[in-house]
Structure formats: structure tokens, C-alpha cells
Amino acid sequence: MSLALMVVGGLYALFAPEPQTAQAQDEPALVREGAKVYNNTCISCHGANLDGVEGRGPSLIGIGEAAVYFQTSTGRMPMVRQEAQAARKPAKLSPAEIDAVGAFVQSHGGGLESPKESGEALRGDNEARGGELFRLNCASCHNFTGKGGALSSGKYAPPLAQSSEKQIYAAMLSGPQNMPKFSDRQLSPEEKKDIVTYIKSVNDGNNNPGGLALGGWGPASEGLIGWVVGIGAIVGMTLWIGSRAGHE
């Protein structure tokens, strides 16, 4: 019996998972730090209980860390004044403050979290599929190459050239402003990464396989240039033929 107890005890000590003591201590500390940042920068618009302030800001309960990361890392929040849409500007919060306030908001109702990866790790390996998915889901607002475009009531789809891989991914998760949210059932994580790859590839300045980029606005500018040049050539040829016929 003693030998059996020793064997069982040894196996338990060998295979039992280690307690996550440090993580349990770190998380509340991060949330407490986030509460301080929130009280200094967000409370006047979003309320003491994150339930929003009428005419100033919406409730943040359940929006998740991904939304906080996108809005604060792009400088859209804290917002300087009420406008039709928050514009991108230099971030007011440091990366550590963004992580802290994100953990604080996440602790109130949960929600979607941004991916742990960043940079190249968020790029997929199928740029062609990313381009097709972008044209189907994003180009109607952001244009074919992510140049952005005007919407109604003073709102707009912003250009995507300045956005990092993580910001693009977080935007697809959280759906800021007029943008819809794309769950993993609508676009899988791999498909989201392929879209990120396409956006970065067409905005790196080195993806003009046809030659002249024409501003990167896609078929609109290309069609306009083709129409102007084509009509000009036809008119010029017609005048030349008419002048030749008059001389004869």
C-alpha cells in the first residue's frame, strides 16, 4: 500500500500542471492600472461604470479589448471633440497604457480580444485569396487598394496605408464606426490574415505590375485615363483625316 501511494504521488507530481500563481497576480494588477488610465482619460465620456454618457460617448461594457486597442492605438480615442467620425491621429496613450485600459474594459463584460501576434506574424500566405476577399467585403467603402472613400453624413472609410497589421485585424474583429464586424464564421483567422497581406502589399509602393500606378485608385482612374486618351486620339485622328481630305 505504501509503495502504491508513493508511485501515485510521484506520478501526480510529475504530470500535474503547475499553478498559474504569477498570472493570477499580474492580471488584477493590470486591470487596476487600466482603471487609473480610464479614470484619467475616458471617464468623462464613457461614465464611471463604463455604461456611457448620453451625448458624449457609448457604453464600453462588452466591447472587448480588440475595440479598445484599435481606437486608442490609432489615436481616435481619446476624442478631442464630438464629430461625425473619429479621425486617425497620433496616439495619446503609450503601448503599456493601451494594454492596461484594454484589460480593464475586457474585465467588464468580456468581448473580443485582439490577436497576440503582430507585424509579419499576422500576414497570411495567400495574397490572391486576400485580394478576392477584400474586393468582396471591403472595396465598396475602402476602394480597390484601400485608399478610402466618402460615405454619408460626413463619415468616410479611411485610407489603410498607415494601419499596422494588428490594427487592420482588430478593425475586422471590432467593426469601428460604420464598418461591420467580421466574426470567425464569416472570415476565418486565416482569411483575415490573407486580407491583411493584400492590403499591405498594395500599399507598400512596390506593387505596380501594370507599370504606372495612376494613384492606386483602381479601375476608376484607369478607366478615366483610358477614356480621355482614347477619345483624344480619336478626335485628333478625325481632325487629321479631315484636314487631309480638304487639301485633296
Cell numbers at 183, concatenated: 466574426
Rounded Cα distance, 25 and 181, in Å: 33
The mean pLDDT of 57-73, rounded to a whole number, is 95
pLDDT on residue 25:
40
Rounded Cα distance, 190 and 64, in Å: 21
List the CATH code of the domain at 116-205.
1.10.760.10
Instruction: Assess whether pLDDT exceeds 60 at residue 11.
Output: no
pLDDT on residue 24:
40
Has this prediction a pTM greater than 0.85? no
Stated as kind and residue range, the H or E segment containing 170 is helix 165-174
Instruction: Assess whether pLDDT exceeds 70 at residue 121.
Output: yes
Stated as kind and residue range, the H or E segment containing 13 is helix 2-15
Q: What is the fold, at CATH topology level, of the domain defined by 24-114?
A: Cytochrome Bc1 Complex; Chain D, domain 2 (1.10.760)
More confident residue, 217 or 67: 67
pLDDT on residue 19:
45
Please indicate whether the domains covering 24-114 and 116-205 agree at the CATH topology level.
yes
pLDDT on residue 233:
87
Instruction: Assess whether pLDDT exceeds 60 at residue 108.
Output: yes
- The pLDDT mean for the chain works out to 85
List pLDDT tens digits, range 144-180: 888 898 898 889 999 999 999 999 999 999 999 889 9
The mean pLDDT of 22-49, rounded to a whole number, is 85
The mean pLDDT of 82-87, rounded to a whole number, is 88
Q: Enumerate residues 6+ apart whose C-beta is below 8 A from 190.
A: 124, 126
CB under 8 Å, gap of 24 or more: what pairs does 199-207 form? Answer: 199/130, 199/134, 199/146, 199/160, 199/163, 199/168, 200/123, 200/165, 201/127, 202/131, 202/145, 202/146, 203/145, 203/146, 203/160, 203/161
- C-alpha Rg value of the chain to the nearest Å: 27
Rounded Cα distance, 199 and 144, in Å: 9
pLDDT on residue 243:
76
Instruction: Assess whether pLDDT exceeds 70 at residue 143.
Output: yes
Largest CA distance in the chain: 122
Domain ranges of the chain: 24-114, 116-205
